[in-house]
Amino acid sequence: MASKGAPAAGKLWGGRFTGGLDPIMQQYNESIYFDRAFYSQDIRGSIAYARANTKNGILTQQEFSEIERGFKQVSKEWQDGTFEINPGVDEDIHTANERRLGEIIGKEIGGKLHTGRSRNDQVATDMRLWLRDQLDQLESYLVDFLKVIAARAEQEIEHVMPGYTHLQRAQPIRWSHWMLMYGSFFAADLQRLRELKFRVNKLPLGCGALAGNPFNIDRDAMAKELGFDGLIMNSMAGVADRDFVVETMQWGSMLMMHMSRWAEDLIIYSSGEFSFVKLADAYSTGSSLMPQKKNPDSLELLRGKAGRAFGQMSGLMMSVKGIPSTYNKDLQESVEPLLDHVKTVGDSLQIATGVLSTLAILPNNMLKSLTPDMLATDLADYLVRKGVPFRETHHISGQVVALAEKESRPMDQLSFEQLEGVDKRFEKDVLKVFDYQKSVEMRSAKGGTSRSAVMEQIEAVKKALAGEA
C-alpha cells in the first residue's frame, strides 16, 4: 500500500490525493516531453501574469523582481540545454518551470506565482503564443514559395505546353499559366493564413480554471504586454477552446492538398513519357537496383505528407467533438499533432520552394507534345467568328478531326480542299488557325493564357503577397 501523501507530493494538484499513481498512468498523463517546446512562451506568460499580480497587490515589487530574475535563469538553462527534467514530478512544462523557479528563488516567493491562475488558461496561452510565432514563420515560407512561382512565370512566359483535363491533352497553354494556377491556390492559402492569425492571437490568460480570476487582474494589460490583439471574453471558452488548433490544421490540410496536386503534376511531367521538367539532384534519389533511375522522392514525400496532415486534423476533431465543457484532459491531445503538423507544413513549403527554384524545364519536349487536334476548338471558333452557331461549329470541327484520323495525318496537313469539303464556309485563311502561339494569344480575356492575361495573373500574385488582395 502506498505511503500516505508521498507519491503526489510536489505535484501542483497533490494536496487532495493520498495514493500513488500507477507508473503507466503517470507516463500516460505527462506531457513534458513534448510540451517543453513551449518553455519560452510559458515563461513569457508567467512573467506577464506576475507583473499583473504585482499591480493588483498579490506580489510586491521585490517578489516580482525575484520571479523575473529566476525565470531568466530558467530560460537560459532551457536555451543552453542544461535544464534537468525531474521525471515523475515535472509532468508538464508549467510544473517544470515553476518547480525550477522555486529552487532558484525559494518556494515561498515561487509559490505565489500561480495565485488565481490555472494550468487550463496557462496551456491555452502558451499554445497561442507559440502558434502565433510559428504562423509568422509559415507565412514567410509561403511568401517565398509564391515569389518563386511569380518570378518563374514571368521569366518563362514564352513557353507553351499542353493543358490537360481528365489527364488527356486538351488545349495549348503557357507553362506560366500552369504555374499560376497553383499560384492562385497558394495565394488564397496565404490570405486564409492571415485571417487565421487574427483569430489565434486572442488572450485566454486570466480565465482561471473556468470561472475567471478573483483578484481583479488586468487582462488587457497582459494582452498588451504579450502582443495579443484582444481577449477571449468568456472564461469558459478561454480554457475550452481548441478551435484555433483545429482551424490551423484545417488551413494546413488545405495547403497540403494543393501541394499534393502540385507535386503530382510535376511527378507526371518529370516522367520519361512527358519529360517536360527535370528535377535537380538535390531533390531526387536513385534506385538501389536500377542505375538509370532518378526518382522524384521530394515530390512523392510532399504528396505523402499531405495524408499525414489530413490525419492529424481529422484525429483532433474526433478527440474534441464529444467532450463536455470546459477543460478536459482530452484537450492534451491537441498538442502533439499541432507540433508535428506545423513542422510538416513548414518543411514541405521549404522543400517545395527548393524544388521549384532548381527545377529545369524542357520547352522543346513541351512543344513536341502539342498536336494539331488540340486546336479543334480554335477551328470551331474560326467559324463562330463568321457567324456560325457554336453548336454547329463544334460538330463541323469534330468532322475535321474524324477526317484527319481517317486520312492518318495531322489536322494541319489536311488540304484546304479537304477542309472545304467538310464545310463550304471555310476560307483559305483557315490554315492560319493551326498555330499554337496564336491559339494561346487568342485567350486574352482576364484569367486566360495569353501573354497579357498571364501578366495580369502575375500582378495579382504580387498584390496578394503585399496583402492587397
CB 95 within 8 A of CB 10: no
Q: What crossing angle do the helices spanning 61-80 and 93-105 adopt, rounded to 10°?
A: 120
Nearest to 149 by CA among 206, 107, 187, 111: 187
Amino acid at 335: V
287 is annotated as an active-site residue: yes
* Residue 85, strand partner residues: none
Residue 216 CA to residue 205 CA, distance in Å, equals: 13
- Widest CA span of the chain, in angstroms? 104
Q: Which of 225, 41, 232, 243 is nearest to 133 (CA)?
A: 41
Q: Three-state SS across 399-468?
A: HHHHHHHHHCCCHHHCCHHHHHHHCCCCCHHHHHHCCHHHHHHHCCCCCCCCHHHHHHHHHHHHHHHCCC
- Say if residue 285 is preceded by a cis peptide, omega within 30 of 0: no
Exactly one of 287, 325, 444, 452 is catalytic; which is it? 287
Q: What are phi and psi of 316, to 5 degrees?
A: -65, -40
The residues annotated with a catalytic role in the active site are 166, 287
